[in-house]
A and B are shown apart, each in its own frame.
Chain A
C-alpha cells in the first residue's frame, strides 16, 4: 500500500520515534531485572522510577499513586474488582451503558456473580443525566465507574461534577481515562477521582502497558498476586521497556498538549465541516461541544459502514465504524444504540480519530475522495433511491 492516511487513533496510535528511541536500550544492553540486588539490574529500577515521575506529572499525581499494569483493560479490571474485593459488604456497582467493553463486559460478569449493577443511560447526544446517578447511588454502592471520554464519539463526561455526587455518597470513584490522557489536561491533585485508568498505546507509547492511578488511602486488593513488584500491588517482573516508553510518551504529550490539540482540533473540524458541507444526509453523533479534540463520529445515512471502510481502505484511509458488520456482532455499536441513533444512521457510522501526526494534506485527501465514494455506495442502496423519491414527491 503506497499511501496510508491513519485516522484511527482511538483504536491505537503510532509509537513516537522519541519513545521508540528510549525503549531500545532495554531490549539490548539494559536487560537487567529491576528487582535484582546487583547494580546491573538495579540501574534499570531508576528508569522505572523516572517513568513513574513522568506519568505522575501528566496526571498531577504523586508517583506513589502510579501503578504500572499491562493494559487499559487490566487497569479497569483492577480498579473495579480491587475495590469490590476490598469492600465485601458492598455489592452494588454503577457504570454507564456507553463504557468500553473492558468495563461493560466486566459489569455483565459481575452481575452473573451476584453483584447488582446499575448502568446509567445517555441522551441523544451521549450525555449522562446526573439526576439518574443521584437516584442510583445507595449505601451499598462500592464503586462508580465512568469513562472520561467516549472512544466512539469522543463525548466527554463532566467527571468532577459526577465525582462530587459520588464522593458525597461514600462510594469509590473510578474513571476510565484511556481516551482522555494526552488529549485533555488533567490534575488529579485537585480532583474527586479515586482511581483512574490509562493505556500506553493510545498516546504514542507501545501496546501492552497501562497505568492505574490509585489515590492515597484507597484500599484495593491486587488482581495479580505474585512478587513484591509495584509495592506488592501487582506481581510480575516489570515490562521495563514499555514502562520507560510510556513515561517518555507522557512527557511528550504534556509538553505539547495545548498546542498540538489546538492543531488537531482544527484539522478535525476541517474534516467534519468539510464532510457536512459536501455530503448530504450526514449527521455527527454526540455532543459537539463537550468532545475530545481529535474525534468525530459521522453517520452516512442509507449506507452501511463496513462497505464505506472497505472503499476507504482501498484509498489507504484508515478509520473505523460503529456498524454491525464491523463490530463482529450483528447489531450496531452499543454506544450509538444507547444514544438512540436511528438505524438509518447507526449502520453507516464512521469514526475518524486524529493524532498529532496527521497533516492538512491528509485531510484534504480525504475530503477529496470521500464524497464520490459515498455517492457510489448510495447509488447501490435501494433506500437512497426510495428516500430521494419521497423527497421529490413532497416538493
Chain B
C-alpha cells in the first residue's frame, strides 16, 4: 500500500476551482516529482497534503487523501497538527516561512525533536548538531548559536531541511526548495537532500518547475497542467516515451547539450490563466494533435502502456 494516496481531489477557493481530479501516490522511500508551469497547481497540491488549505480559505470538494491508511480529509485540526512536523514535514521555497528571525538557529531545530520525539534538551541539541553536520554545514556549533540573518540563503535552506528531518518524518513535501538559490548552491542542496532522504528511506514529494532537477532526483513524476494531472509515469518513461503531448513538448523546451541551433521551438500560445481555462482538454489550444473531441470533452486520467495520462489520442 502506498504511503500517501491522493485520489481525485478537487479544490475550491471562493468561486475558483484551481485543482480538479488530482490523483497520485507516493510509496515509502520514493522520490516523486511534481512538475508544471507556474499556476498549474503545484503549491496548492502541497497545501492539500499538509492540510493547510483552510488557512487560505480553500477547501477540498471531492476526493480523498489517505496517508498511512488514514484519510486526512475531515481530520480535526489538532490531529493534523500532530501529523505535520512529526510525520509529514514541509520545506517551502522561502526558508524564512519556517524560521523565526529572533530565535537562535539551534533552539529552533532542538525544539522540533524535543516536541515530536520527546528528547531532553541535551539530546535534542546533540541531534541538531549531528543534522547540521550531515547537511555539510561547516562549524555546526557556531551555526547552532547563530541567528537566521547571519546565514546566507543557501545555509538557511539547509537549516530548514535539518528541521524537517529532525522529527524523523515519513514524508517530506518540498515546494521548490532551491528555486530562489544560485545554481551552484541549488545543485549541492538537491544532492544533499536526496542523499539524506534515500539514506533514511523517507518519501519525498519534490515540487519543481525544473525538468533537470526532476531528471536528476526523482523516481516517478506527476505532470500538472492548468490544475489537472496530465501524466503520471516512471522517470525513464517520462523522458523516453511520454504518454501526454504536453509532457513531450515540455521536455523539448529545455535546451540540451549539443542541440542544433534553431531547433528550440517552445509550445505555441500562452499558459492559460485560471479565469479562462479552455473547455475540453485544457491543453487543446496549444496541442498539435488536438481534434474536435479535445475541445468538447475533458479526457479522463487513464492507464496507458506505462503510467497514467489524460489524453484522448495518446497511444494506449
Partners in one complex: no
Interface residues in chain A, defined as those with a beta carbon under 8 Å from any beta carbon in chain B: none
Interface residues in chain B, defined as those with a beta carbon under 8 Å from any beta carbon in chain A: none
